[in-house]
Amino acid sequence: MQIELVYILILAGFVGFEIIRKVTPTLHTPLMSATNAISGISLVGSLVAAGSDHQLGQILGFIAVTAATINVVGGFMITERMLKMFKKKEKK
Amino acid sequence: MSATEIVYLISSVLFILGLKGLSHPESARRGMHLAEAGMVLAIVGTLVSGKIVTWEWIITGIIIGSAIGAAMAIFMPMTAMPQRVALSHAFGALAAVLVGVNEYVEKSNLNELTNGLMGALGFEVLFGALTITGSLMAFGKLSEMITGSPITYKGQNAVNILLFIAAMGMFVYLIFFPYNTIIFYSMIALSLLIGIFIVMPIGGADMPVVISLLNSYAGLAAAATGFAINNKVLIIAGALDGASGFILSIIMSKAMNRSFANVLFGAVGSAQVDSSKLAESRPITRFGIEDTKFVLEQAERVVIVPGYGMAVAQAQHTVRELSDELEKQGIKVEYAIHPVAGRMPGHMNVLLAEANVSYDQLLEMETINPTMDTVDVCIVIGANDVVNPAARTDKSSPIYGMPIIDVDKAKTVIVMKRSMAAGFAGIENPLFYQPNTKMLFGDAKKVMQELVSEFKKV
């Protein structure tokens, strides 16, 4: 394990902390589904496993690809659906 | 630095910018488009990286996953959002665990299991596995497949702590002796069990904390995957997700007045309640539809405080209709949202936004409380513990110290409730007996409908 990965983790953690602290509480539910979709990035790991030439990797990878894709596609779609609803109403 | 790495770097930046957009509803959608672009880039970058030798499993997985994901996103009602989020944590963790197991098997066949790699893999499958079953339990409870009330037994905490220590012991052992496959799989099995056990004693109203915590665990598992397969975008995305869940858990636990340590170890119990105290019968003031309408018409400023009961009754649209009627009469209407109202962070905001309530009318507890004494009428709909003044005054109350929306300071409080039954925490609410409190009994949606048609009559 390289130390540079630890640097990345810690610095990314701080960036995440600062950004997410500023997210308006009104959007906390969309925030959850958005971060969920983003962490569906584990799809890239699953793709490599599913696309390997080992049978076990293919099977485990296939299930992982399916699960991660559900999060990526579903997560972004539902976040969009929610964000579309947050409108400022014109005062009559 | 390979081309794939550059693509991953761009994706990471886009993810960060995407989340930054969520600081305001105006910029949120643009932000999400950036994050989506980042995701597409990362996926395409991986597919063309040359590491992929077979395609059939990938294509099938992506097609099935997209179909299920899209169907869930399109057809799930907004009231079911907490369940969906809980389920997605399980999916995310499942992917992490499977990638971890595959990596373990592959590297162990190649005799390349270093201690550092095992540390990352162990962390990944340990937290991943408990997130899978924990989230499924949360899903079951939220969708009411499993009882929403806490399932407890004697010595539960001791059992949970012992199981966790055992799992941690296996984890540490594996770092030094990574080739012991029996221990590796036993640790996964044990973690799956722990996930079930830690969520079992947690009741519905504590779900916002649990969901946030599981969100954080799912993110940490993803970050650990990044360590195991040496993938930086995974570490960054996982860290963002982990930080997000972590911050939300802190906000939620603060809003419930639970300690920080309590959150970290996931030991979210429920208060033991002395039911004999509830039997007390003091006088209350009942209100009918017409009384309510009369009081509302005299008001200049009305604040609506929604709780989980509004979600259960699906009353958000009728609530908005009522506020439309009030606004027609020149009355100022606002909504006061407690951070833990509902079953997940931001639950009430999403429901009200769905019902077309303008987001600038949704106020946070801290914003509304200092002005509460200038509010003429406060309508509490389906909320109980989050407006319980005992949290401010009664040191013996289990929720003492929890920040609440000070509805009792409004000139008149109208509490819409099914019956006098205590709230989720089973705690007596002195608000109901205050002279300025009027009780309006009935199903939230039905009562609201009657009220709206009463207004429309004129």
User: Could you tell me the pLDDT band of residue B265, with boundaries at 50, 70 and 90?
Assistant: low
Question: Which chain B residues in 37-76 lie under 8 Å from chain A, judged by CB atoms?
Answer: 38-39, 42-43, 46-47, 51-55, 57-58, 60-62, 64-66, 68-70, 72-74, 76
Q: Hey, where are the domains in chain B?
A: 1-75, 81-264, 277-457
User: Could you tell me the pLDDT band of residue B158, with boundaries at 50, 70 and 90?
Assistant: confident
Q: Which residues of B touch A85 (CB under 8 A)?
A: 78, 350, 353-354, 356
Determine, for residues B69 and A13 on separate chains, whether the beta-carbon distance falls below 8 Å.
Answer: no
- Are A36 and B92 spatial neighbours (Cβ–Cβ below 8 Å)? yes
Q: What is the mean pLDDT of residues B80-86?
A: 92
Mutation to test the B interface, candidates A5, A70, A72, most B Cβ within 10 Å: A70
Residue type, B285: T
Inform me whether the pLDDT recorded for B409 exceeds 70. Answer: yes
For B311-334, how does the pLDDT look when each residue is reduced to its tens digit (9 = 90+)? Answer: 888 899 999 999 999 999 999 999
Confirm whether B406 is a catalytic residue: no
Query: Exposed, middle or buried: residue B400 (CB in 10 Å: 0-12, 13-18, 19+)?
Result: middle
Phi, psi (deg, nearest 5) at residue B221: -65, -40
Determine, for residues A76 and B35 on separate chains, whether the beta-carbon distance falls below 8 Å.
Answer: yes
Residue type, B216: S
Residue of A nearest to B72 (CA): A74
Inform me whether the pLDDT recorded for B277 exceeds 70. Answer: no
Mutation to test the B interface, candidates A9, A27, A38, most B Cβ within 10 Å: A38
Inform me whether the pLDDT recorded for B156 exceeds 90. Answer: no
Question: Which chain B residues in 407-426 lie under 8 Å from chain A, judged by CB atoms?
Answer: none
pLDDT for B87: 94
Which of B136-145, B169-178, B196-205, B439-448 has the largest mean confidence? B169-178
Q: Which residues of B touch A13 (CB under 8 A)?
A: 239, 242-243
Q: Which of A32, A53, A72 sits opposite B54 (nearest CB)?
A: A53
Determine, for residues A67 and B74 on separate chains, whether the beta-carbon distance falls below 8 Å.
Answer: no
- Are B428 and B390 spatial neighbours (Cβ–Cβ below 8 Å)? yes
Question: What are the C-alpha distances in Å from B368 to residues A51, B63, B405, B409, B436?
Answer: 54, 47, 8, 11, 19
For B239-262, how does the pLDDT look when each residue is reduced to its tens digit (9 = 90+)? Answer: 999 999 999 988 888 888 876 566
In 3D, which of B88, B82, B46, B81 has the Cα closest to residue B65?
B88
Determine, for residues A32 and B237 on separate chains, whether the beta-carbon distance falls below 8 Å.
Answer: no
Inform me whether the pLDDT recorded for B94 exceeds 60. Answer: yes
User: Could you tell me the pLDDT band of residue B343, with boundaries at 50, 70 and 90?
Assistant: confident
Q: Which of B64, B243, B339 sits opposite A25 (nearest CB)?
A: B339
Determine, for residues A1 and B69 on separate chains, whether the beta-carbon distance falls below 8 Å.
Answer: no
Q: What is the mean pLDDT of residues B80-108?
A: 94
Q: What is the mean pLDDT of residues B354-363?
A: 93
Q: Which CATH code is given to the segment(s) B277-457?
A: 3.40.50.1220
Higher pLDDT, B425 or B456: B456
Catalytic residue among B206, B360, B373, B385: B385
Is B89 in the A-facing interface, judged by CB distances under 8 Å? yes
What is the rounded distance in angstroms from the CA atom of residue B26 to the CA atom of residue B16? 17
Determine, for residues B88 and A33 on separate chains, whether the beta-carbon distance falls below 8 Å.
Answer: yes
Mean pLDDT over all residues of chain B? 89
Q: Which residues of B touch A2 (CB under 8 A)?
A: 230
Phi, psi (deg, nearest 5) at residue B412: -130, 140
What is the rounded distance in angstroms from the CA atom of residue B241 to the CA atom of residue A15? 11
What is the rounded distance in angstroms from the CA atom of residue B217 to the CA atom of residue B223? 10
What is the rounded distance in angstroms from the CA atom of residue B426 to the CA atom of residue B403? 18
Lowest mean pLDDT among B7-21, B52-66, B78-92, B282-296: B282-296
Query: Exposed, middle or buried: residue B77 (CB in 10 Å: 0-12, 13-18, 19+)?
Result: exposed
Q: What is the DSSP letter of B361?
A: G
Inform me whether the pLDDT recorded for B300 exceeds 70. Answer: yes
- Are A73 and B66 spatial neighbours (Cβ–Cβ below 8 Å)? yes
Distance of CA B22 to the CA centre of its chain: 17
Is B234 in the A-facing interface, judged by CB distances under 8 Å? yes
Provide the shortest C-alpha distance from residue B100 to chain A (in Å): 9
In 3D, which of B227, B257, B229 has the Cα closest to residue B242?
B227
User: Could you tell me the pLDDT band of residue B150, with boundaries at 50, 70 and 90?
Assistant: confident
Determine, for residues A26 and B241 on separate chains, whether the beta-carbon distance falls below 8 Å.
Answer: no
Lowest mean pLDDT among A26-35, B18-27, B122-131, B142-151: B142-151
Inform me whether the pLDDT recorded for B394 exceeds 90. Answer: no
Q: What is the mean pLDDT of residues B403-421?
A: 89
In 3D, which of B370, B229, B383 has the Cα closest to residue B304?
B383
Mutation to test the B interface, candidates A3, A39, A56, A73, most B Cβ within 10 Å: A39
Residues whose CB falls within 8 Å of the CB of residue B294, separated by 6 or more in sequence, listed in order? none
User: Could you tell me the pLDDT band of residue B421, with boundaries at 50, 70 and 90?
Assistant: low
Nearest-10 Cα torsion for B70, B71, B75, B78: -50
Q: What is the DSSP letter of B286?
A: B
In what helix (H) or strand (E) does residue B379 lie, and over which residues does it extend?
A: strand B377-381
What is the rounded distance in angstroms from the CA atom of residue B380 to the CA atom of residue B425? 17
Determine, for residues B239 and A92 on separate chains, whether the beta-carbon distance falls below 8 Å.
Answer: no
- Are B208 and B252 spatial neighbours (Cβ–Cβ below 8 Å)? yes
Determine, for residues A27 and B84 on separate chains, whether the beta-carbon distance falls below 8 Å.
Answer: no
User: Tokens representing B387?
Assistant: 């407006």
Question: What are the C-alpha distances in Å from B96 to residues A73, B123, B196?
Answer: 17, 11, 18
Provide the shortest C-alpha distance from residue A5 to chain B (in Å): 7
**Helix extents (H) in B206-355:** 207-228, 232-255, 260-264, 289-298, 308-313, 316-328, 347-354
Radius of gyration of the CA atoms of chain A, in A: 18
Q: Is the dihedral of CA B103, B104, B108, B111 positive or negative?
A: positive
- Are B19 and A34 spatial neighbours (Cβ–Cβ below 8 Å)? yes
Helices A43-50 & A55-69 angle (0-180, nearest 10)? 150
pLDDT tens track, chain A, 92 positions:
578 999 999 999 999 999 999 999 999 999 999 999 998 999 999 999 999 888 999 999 999 999 999 999 999 999 999 999 998 876 54
Inform me whether the pLDDT recorded for B279 exceeds 50. Answer: no
- Are B383 and B429 spatial neighbours (Cβ–Cβ below 8 Å)? no
Helices B181-199 & B81-109 angle (0-180, nearest 10)? 170
In 3D, which of B308, B13, B47 has the Cα closest to residue A46?
B47
Residues whose CB falls within 8 Å of the CB of residue A90, separated by 6 or more in sequence, listed in order? none
What is the rounded distance in angstroms from the CA atom of residue A68 to the CA atom of residue A38? 10
Phi, psi (deg, nearest 5) at residue B112: -120, 20
Give the number of beta-carbon pairs within 8 Å between A and B.
365
